[in-house]
C-alpha cells in the first residue's frame, strides 16, 4: 500500500493559482485507506475549493487510479467536465497523479504527498513494519525490524538513547525498537544473536530493479 498524506491547503491553493476551474479526482484504493483521497475527502476538497472561489467542474473517484486504462475510460465518461476545467487536482499517491497526467492534456496537480510504502500491507494495519530494504535482518533481531522500529535504523544494537520508560530519545511517543528486540531475544533465550556484527547495509538492494525506471516502458505505454 502507498501511504499518502494530504498537502496543506495553502500549498494546494498556491499550485492552483490562476486556474479557476478544477476537476477533482480521488481513488478507492490506498488513498481511501489512507483517508486522503476517498469519496469523503474528494467532497471535502470540492467544498474547500469552492469556498476559496474556485469552480469545481466535476469529480470522479476511481476504483484504482493507478490503473491507467481505467482512468482513461473514467475520464472519457466525464469528458465535458474535464474539458471545462483549467486543471485537474488528484488526491492520491504519486502513481495515481502520474497516471492521470499521462492520459489527459491538462495540467495535473498532486493534492497529497506519498509518504511511505509503509509496510502497511495485508490485514495487519497500524505501524510501519517493513521498509522493503531488500536485505532482511529479522533473523537476528527476534522478528522485530530495526529499520522501522529504531529512529536511526541501527543494525548493531541500541544507541544508548533509550529512556528509563523504554522510549526513544528522539521521540518520546516511540518505543525503543532495540529494547523491544532485546526483550524478545531474552525471552527466546537467544541474546547471543545480539553479538552478530552487522557491517554496513547493502543499500544498493534498496533500489528497485533498474528495469522499473526504464523510460522505454513509458514510451511503450504512449498511445
Partner 1 sequence: MGFQESLTAGKFVVTSEIGPPKGTRVEEMLADAELLRGRVDAINVTDLQSSVMRLGSLAVCHLLKERGIDPIFQVTCRDRNRLALQADLLSAAVLGIRNVLALTGDYASLGDHPQAKPVFDLDSVSLLGVVKKLQGGTDMAGNALQGAPKFFVGAVVNPGGNPPEAQIIKMEKKMKEGASFFQTQGVYDIPAFEKFMKKVAPLKVPVLAGIILLKSAGMARFMNKNVAGVFVPEPLIQRMAKAEDRVKTSIEIAAALIQGLKGLCQGIHLMPIGWESKVPLVLDAAKI
Of 129 and 193, which has the nearer Cβ to partner 1?
193
Instruction: Output the smallest distance, CB 136 to partner 1, in A.
Output: 17
Instruction: Output the smallest distance, CB 47 to partner 1, in A.
Output: 32
C-alpha cell at 101: 497526467
Nearest 5°: the CA angle 155, 152, 129 is 75
Instruction: Output the smallest distance, CB 146 to partner 1, in A.
Output: 10
Cα 29 → chain centroid: 12
Residue 107 main-chain phi, psi, to 5 deg: -65, 130
Strand partners, 168: 162, 171
Instruction: Output the smallest distance, CB 180 to partner 1, in A.
Output: 11
CA atoms within 13 A on the CB side of 92: 31
CB of 109 closer than 8 Å to CB of 37: no
Of 138 and 191, which has the nearer Cβ to partner 1?
191
Q: Where along the sequence are the contacts to partner 1 (CB under 8 A)? A: 151-164, 166, 169-170, 176, 178-179, 182, 191, 194-195, 197-201, 203
In sequence order, the 6+-apart residues with CB closer than 8 A to the CB of 207 are 134
Instruction: Output the smallest distance, CB 140 to partner 1, in A.
Output: 12
Of 84 and 191, which has the nearer Cβ to partner 1?
191
Of 110 and 146, which has the nearer Cβ to partner 1?
146
CB of 5 closer than 8 Å to CB of 115: yes
Distances (CA, A) of 8 to 22, 35, 100, 214: 17, 14, 21, 32
Of 172 and 216, which has the nearer Cβ to partner 1?
172
Of 91 and 158, which has the nearer Cβ to partner 1?
158
Rounded to whole angstroms, how far apart are CA atoms 111 and 44? 12
Instruction: Output the smallest distance, CB 128 to partner 1, in A.
Output: 16
Amino acid at each position: 500500500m502507498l501511504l499518502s498524506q494530504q498537502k496543506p491547503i495553502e500549498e494546494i491553493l498556491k499550485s492552483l493559482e490562476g486556474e479557476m476551474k478544477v476537476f477533482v479526482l480521488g481513488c478507492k484504493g490506498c488513498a481511501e485507506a489512507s483517508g486522503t483521497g476517498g469519496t469523503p475527502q474528494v467532497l471535502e476538497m470540492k467544498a474547500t475549493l469552492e469556498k476559496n472561489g474556485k469552480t469545481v467542474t466535476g469529480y470522479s473517484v476511481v476504483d484504482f487510479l493507478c490503473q491507467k486504462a481505467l482512468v482513461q475510460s473514467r475520464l472519457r465518461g466525464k469528458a465535458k467536465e474535464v474539458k471545462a476545467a483549467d486543471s485537474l487536482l488528484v488526491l492520491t499517491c504519486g502513481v495515481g497523479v502520474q497516471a492521470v497526467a499521462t492520459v489527459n492534456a491538462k495540467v495535473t496537480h498532486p493534492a497529497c504527498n506519498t509518504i511511505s510504502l509503509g509496510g502497511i500491507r495485508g490485514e495487519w494495519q497500524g505501524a510501519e513494519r517493513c521498509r522493503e530494504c531488500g536485505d532482511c535482518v529479522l533473523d537476528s533481531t527476534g522478528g522485530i525490524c530495526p529499520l522501522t522500529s529504531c529512529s536511526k535504523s541501527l543494525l548493531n544494537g541500541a544507541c544508548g538513547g533509550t529512556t528509563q520508560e523504554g522510549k526513544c530519545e528522539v521521540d518520546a511517543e516511540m518505543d525503543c525498537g532495540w529494547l523491544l528486540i532485546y526483550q524478545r531475544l531474552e525471552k527466546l533465550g537467544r541474546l547471543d544473536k545480539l553479538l552478530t556484527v552487522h557491517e554496513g547495509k547493502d543499500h544498493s538492494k534498496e533500489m528497485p530493479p533498474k528495469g522499473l525506471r526504464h523510460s522505454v516502458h513509458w514510451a511503450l505505454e504512449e498511445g
